[in-house]
């Protein structure tokens, strides 16, 4: 019985270090097929490490780091943050389970056998808790991954300091438990420790959540102000152009009479000049029409800015139209287009070759497929947030787009192929 639980405990110990990063922290597995060969090797390593009474802390730390580095496709800074969070939370879960088991069982005469049983039972229960947490948090894993990528060092230090203090307290309780204490006092101490542990975990999680939520709200507020500015400019331009159109229609009969008079006088040359002047009047319509007024304004405004910065040789191609009912809030559409085209402008500013921009809009089963493609110098799509020095203002372009896509349970792909950068979204 104990041997069977020991084997199960070993297997679950290996699995939990894969389930935790995927199901709770939202980490992405590497796409390389090499991982299928690496996983069995790591499994054998786990069998060696965990098929003893209890592996050392150093062995567990090294094992966790190796799994994160080898199996997951994340930046090294994210790996480090993820390791700290995983190590602390997994250790706390194991500690809570240990406290509960110790509080409800008797020590007996053989302490070594007792400790081995507690470790095996506790490990099995702890893994089950992690699996349940992964199932509960699976839909929020992308949000959690974003928090981990943006969490600051001082926030991590706060969490580590709190957990370290708690560890010292629990160690004292553990030492007292192994000393001379009555059974009722032992169990009361364990109950108090568990309650204290839960409170500390909740406070730490709330601290990180509140700090991150405040930062996200500030970003959203900035984006809303930017979108309001776009919409204000659009309506001002619409009013101006509508006034020009009304004035033009009001004067059209006068233009006809003037042309007729010139032709009656056989002044063909002057009549031709007059007609050319009318033809060259400012076009009151957008050059590119997508079926959505907000998209029209942003696309036409950004394209005009791109041509002003790079000349009229830039090749622009806009294909497709938005449906009458877009199914996405106008402010969210504004965020996607404004940030995407800002990235295009940035790419063109650093690209010396032929500049081309393509936007494709497709409707698919009441959803929108939006593709934005542009020529660009080589891009590291794993570290795409920004290359600008002003990271405070420009570092969240891609993450803001991803946040909107996630809001509508959509998908987003970023690729760089044959000198072209492609951003594809299903919303």
Q: Where are the domains of the chain?
A: 2-215, 293-426
Q: How confident is the model at residue 284 (pLDDT cuts 50, 70, 90)?
A: very low
Alpha carbon distances (Å) from 368 to 328, 371, 374, 427: 9, 10, 20, 5
Q: How confident is the model at residue 272 (pLDDT cuts 50, 70, 90)?
A: confident
Which residue carries 């297997």 as its tokens? 11
In 3D space, the residue among 162, 166, 175, 161 whose CA is nearest the CA of residue 197 turns out to be: 166
Q: What is the pLDDT of residue 393?
A: 36
β 411-417/367-375 pair status: unpaired
Q: Is 388's pLDDT higher than 50?
A: no
Are 327 and 364 in contact by the 8 Å Cβ rule? The answer is no
Q: What is the pLDDT of residue 390?
A: 39
CATH 3.20.20.70 assigned to domain 293-426? The reply is no
Q: What is the pLDDT of residue 149?
A: 73
Say if residue 94 is exposed, middle or buried (CB neighbours under 10 Å; 0-12, 13-18, 19+). buried
Chain centroid to Cα 34, Å, comes to 26
Predicted TM-score of the model (pTM): 0.46
Long-range contacts of 54-59 (CB under 8 A, 24+ apart): 54/115, 54/116, 54/119
Instruction: Convert the pLDDT of each residue in 200-225 to its tens digit.
Output: 667 667 766 766 676 677 766 666 66
Of these ranges, 59-68, 172-181, 249-258, 301-310, the one predicted with the greatest mean pLDDT is 301-310
Q: How confident is the model at residue 389 (pLDDT cuts 50, 70, 90)?
A: very low
Q: Is 305's pLDDT higher than 80?
A: yes
């Amino acid at each position: 019985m104990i041997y069977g639980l020991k084997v199960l405990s070993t297997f679950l110990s290996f699995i939990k270090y894969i389930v935790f990063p995927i199901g709770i922290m939202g980490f992405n597995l590497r796409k390389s097929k090499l991982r299928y060969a690496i996983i069995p090797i790591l499994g054998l390593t786990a069998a060696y490490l965990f098929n003893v009474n209890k592996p050392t802390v150093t062995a567990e730390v090294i094992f966790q780091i190796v799994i994160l580095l080898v199996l997951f496709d994340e930046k090294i800074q994210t790996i480090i943050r993820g390791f700290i969070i995983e190590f602390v939370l997994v250790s706390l879960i194991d500690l809570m389970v240990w406290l509960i088991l110790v509080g409800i069982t008797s020590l007996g005469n053989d302490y070594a056998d007792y400790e081995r049983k507690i470790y095996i039972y506790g490990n099995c229960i702890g893994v089950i808790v992690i699996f349940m947490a992964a199932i509960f948090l699976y839909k929020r894993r992308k949000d959690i991954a974003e928090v981990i990528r943006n969490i600051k060092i001082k926030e991590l230090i706060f969490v580590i300091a709190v957990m370290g203090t708690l560890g010292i307290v629990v160690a004292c309780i553990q030492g007292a438990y192994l000393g001379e204490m009555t059974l009722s006092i032992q169990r009361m101490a364990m109950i108090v420790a568990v309650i204290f542990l839960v409170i500390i975990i909740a406070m730490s999680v709330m601290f990180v959540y509140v700090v991150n939520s405040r930062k996200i709200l500030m970003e959203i507020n900035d984006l809303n102000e930017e979108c309001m500015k776009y919409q204000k400019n659009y309506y001002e331009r619409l009013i101006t152009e509508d006034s020009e159109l009304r004035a033009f229609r009001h004067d059209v009969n006068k233009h006809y009479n003037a042309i007729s008079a010139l032709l009656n006088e056989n002044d063909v040359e002057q009549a031709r000049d007059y007609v050319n002047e009318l033809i060259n009047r400012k076009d009151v319509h957008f050059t590119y029409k997508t079926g959505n007024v907000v998209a029209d304004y942003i696309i036409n405004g950004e394209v005009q800015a791109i041509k002003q910065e790079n000349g009229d040789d830039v090749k622009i191609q806009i294909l497709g139209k938005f449906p009458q009912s877009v199914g996405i809030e106008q402010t969210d559409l504004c965020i996607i287009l404004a940030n995407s085209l800002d990235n295009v402008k940035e790419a063109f500013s650093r690209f010396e070759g032929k500049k081309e921009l393509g936007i494709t809009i497709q409707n698919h089963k009441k959803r929108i497929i939006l593709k934005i493609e542009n020529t660009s110098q080589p891009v590291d799509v794993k570290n795409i947030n920004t290359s600008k020095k002003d990271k405070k203002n420009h570092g969240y372009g891609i993450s803001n787009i991803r946040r909107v896509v996630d809001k509508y349970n959509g998908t987003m792909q970023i690729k760089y192929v044959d000198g072209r950068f492609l951003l594809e979204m299903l919303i």
